[in-house]
Amino acid sequence: MSGKRKLALLMVLILICCSAACKRQEKEEQKENDSVIQIDPNEGAINTNSQNVMLYFANEDYTMLVGKPTEISVPVSSRVEYSILEALIYGPQTIGADFNAVINPQTKIVNIEESQDYISITFSEDFLDWSFITVANLSAEAMNHIKKLSVYAVVNSIVEASICKKVQILVDNEGSKTGQRITLSEVGMGGSGILEPLGRSGNLVLSAENTLVNIFEAIKAEDYSELYRYIAYTDEEDNQRPLENTFSVWMQSKNIGIEDYQIVEIVETVDQQSAILMANYTMNISGEGRKEMNNTPIKLIRENGIWKITYAMVEALF
């Protein structure tokens, strides 16, 4: 065999070996790729829906409920009520004391069922444990009020976000995954009866109307420390409120007495960040005598989601 033929044969053998090696590599790469799970970065977004809801928490001194507009993610295979309850249990994600959780963070959602007239929610027994509340020197009456707020934080949040008018709260006391009825006394409502399905309560919500009621009541009681809670930190012109002591001294110097009052109309602005409340009230001012103020517009603003009155508005009223 000539040298040229030997060289040609050698080249053919080399090409065959290279081709076989490439095919083996392709098979190995294909096998490796087959073992990799392909993750769609948008899969989570596809499998959840966003929904804006109003979640209710306690206000600064645990006397009222305040609504916090919140966007929650609801899995397509789950109920919106479940996501609402999870967010309530997790607590308000804010800095400061304007919103306070009233549901034990250890609480578990055991079951949610819907009947013709109401939604039935079963919690773990942690729901009835309020030891996480760290407010000092709470009276028994104040503690019972907090328990009541925790119930209506659930009821109001669920009713406003669903088509059901009432909520039945049950507790799994025995760890059997079944809910048992609870007594009124267990949730601070007094009496020996059983907690029935509840509808939304507006009386416990710090709405614009209830805020103005509390302002009038604080003035009547000459409780200027309580009144100061409802004064906005800044007004719409970015003017800051005075220090609490300065404010109290000013109110005392005016010697204002409120005899009676009536809120006759409420008009919220389109963006719901302010409201005009028309009120009739009778007051006594030192050196000026008795004055009847009829159909007086009183403006409130939302500050961090909470209804407040500006110091300038208080000055204008008195």
Q: Which tokens is 179 given?
A: 């809910």
The CATH label, of 3.40.50.360, 3.10.450.50, 3.90.1310.10, 3.40.190.90, for the domain at 208-317 is 3.10.450.50
Q: Is the pLDDT of residue 98 over 90?
A: no
pLDDT reported for residue 318 = 80
pLDDT reported for residue 140 = 94
Q: Kindly state the percentage of the chain with pLDDT values over 90.
A: 64
| Residue 283 burial by Cβ neighbours in a 10 Å radius (0-12, 13-18, 19+) | buried
Q: What is the pLDDT of residues 257-284, one digit of tens each?
A: 898 999 999 987 877 889 999 999 999 8
Choice among 44-48, 61-65, 229-233 with the minimum mean pLDDT: 44-48
Q: Is the pLDDT of residue 18 over 60?
A: no
pLDDT reported for residue 35 = 36
Distance of CA 242 to the CA centre of its chain: 29
Mean pLDDT of 182-207: 94
Q: How many helices (H) and strands (E) does the chain have?
A: 8, 10
pLDDT reported for residue 12 = 52
How many angstroms separate the CA atoms of 188 and 20, rounded?
81
CA dist 76 → 73, 146, 163, 189 (Å): 9, 34, 18, 37
Q: What is the pLDDT of residues 110-155, one digit of tens each?
A: 999 998 889 999 999 999 999 999 888 899 999 999 999 999 999 9
Mean pLDDT of 52-71: 93
pLDDT reported for residue 287 = 74
pLDDT reported for residue 176 = 81
Sorted by where each begins, the domain ranges of the chain are 46-199, 208-317
